[in-house]
Amino acid sequence: MINRNPCIANIKAGYLFPEIARRRREYAASHPDAKIISLGVGNTTEPILPHIDQGLIEGARKLATVEGYSGYQDEGLLELREKISAVFYNGKFTADEVFISDGAKCDIGRIQLLFGAGTPVAVQDPSYPVYVDGSVLIGAAGGWTGEGYSGITYLPCTAENSYFPDLSKLPENCLFYFCSPNNPTGAVANSEQLAALVAAALKKGIIIVFDAAYAEYIRDAALPKTIFDIEGSRKCAIEVNSFSKPAGFTGVRLGWTVVPLELKYAGGESVNKDWNRITGTIFNGASNIAQAGGLAALDSDGLKEIRRLSDFYLGNAKLIRNALNTLGVLCVGGDNSPYIWARFPGRDSWDVFAEILEKCQVVTTPGSGFGPAGNSFIRFSAFGHRADVEEACSRLGRLSF
């Protein structure tokens, strides 16, 4: 018999969302009449808007014609790569630096193939789970210590530091996952903070994996939507991004990764060249239908629909924030991001989760699932139908803290 990959054994049992689903099922089984509402997951709920949908339909139709048929497009359709550079980066990148993916999460999982097991990893704490779980799977981190995974540097992002980490704690020559707008805290790093991050990365030989999956939720014009607004970032950053949350493509699957030509390893080799090699080797490109939808999303009508959809979820976020403020719960996020990060000092996240489920039949996400510094927090997600969010907000009134 073949042995199990020991890295898999290192992954902590009960990935956060399956564990939440298990507790929800358990509650539903013992309360069959309860109408449970989820403000827990980051999955989108609203239909794809008509112009973008038309792009998908036409993409499918084209495939059934001799002139329009296309097969493998390893790095993605040239037109889409150019459009992404034009729309999101003022045309600063050539098509060779923009790689189309089947989603940001998939690319985050593949990125560590560039660096292997020997590269130390640092994360914001709390953080989106795939950064650490992906590191464990590739062997860059070891087993669960009870506080976190061994070998990973957790940089706490708490109310005390305004959810921006102490960069002096970054190890030299590490891979640093940084997410802004942040999942789960909803915090958005400003230009000064990102400039400090880039300066620290250049000084310490760090590569930043900048996750901008929620950039289209930023409404404050002074806040940067991309790390590439910061001088020097082309020498130290990779950016992953996605159509999932702005265009409702969570089920369609489309994202992109920017790997600048200037980004080099310690030995001077090109990271971009290796990424091209990796995507060509283990990934045969995103669906051409999804890419046609992506092109429609980036023309002027599509961008209006992106705005409309993200405005809708931000409207939900405002309702949730107001409901929590009325209860006297301190929270951040929800203004430039679809997540609200609520503080329950001195309490265990899973206990608060259980209390909200029991008293309100509302599912949330315990902050401790995102890292040690997430304990005593709950993440509320604004992805939901309006009527459900309104009902959930009124039920939150049953709580008293």
Residue 103 in the binding site for ligand PLP (CB under 6 A):
yes
- Hunting for tokens 């940001």 — which residue is that? 104
Question: CA 267 to CA 241: how far, in whole Å?
Answer: 28
**152 bridge partner residues:** 121
Task: Compute the C-alpha angle 270/276/280, nearest 5°.
Answer: 150
The count of other CB atoms within 10 Å of the CB of residue 364 is 26
Residue 373 in the binding site for ligand PLP (CB under 6 A):
no
Q: Which is nearer to ligand PLP, 40 or 55 (CB)?
A: 40
Q: Which of 210, 234, 19 is nearest to 131 (CA)?
A: 210
Residue 250 in the binding site for ligand PLP (CB under 6 A):
yes
Sign of CA dihedral 386, 387, 393, 394: positive
For residues 27-56, which are near ligand PLP according to CB under 6 A? 42
Residue 255 in the binding site for ligand PLP (CB under 6 A):
yes
Residue 179 in the binding site for ligand PLP (CB under 6 A):
yes
Which pair of tokens denotes residue 342? 């609520």
Residue 104 in the binding site for ligand PLP (CB under 6 A):
yes
Give the CA dihedral 290, 294, 295, 300, nearest 10 degrees.
150
Q: Which residue is nearest to ligand PLP (CB)?
A: 103
The residue count of the chain comes to 401
Q: Which is nearer to ligand PLP, 179 or 194 (CB)?
A: 179
Q: Fill in the per-residue mask, 139 to 178: x = in contact with ligand PLP (CB under 6 A), - = not in contact.
A: ----------------------------------------
Q: Fill in the per-residue mask, 209 to 228: x = in contact with ligand PLP (CB under 6 A), - = not in contact.
A: --x-x---------------
Residue 183 in the binding site for ligand PLP (CB under 6 A):
yes
Q: Which stretch binds ligand PLP (CB under 6 A): 73-81, 100-108, 135-143, 392-400?
A: 100-108
Residue 105 in the binding site for ligand PLP (CB under 6 A):
yes
Question: CA 396 to CA 359: how far, in whole Å?
Answer: 8
Collapsed DSSP state (helix, strand, coil) of residue 284: coil
Shortest distance, position 178 Cβ to ligand PLP, whole Å: 10
Spatial contact of 368 and 348, defined as CB atoms under 8 Å apart? yes
Applying CB under 6 A, which residues contact ligand PLP?
Answer: 42, 103-106, 128, 179, 183, 211, 213, 242, 244, 250, 255
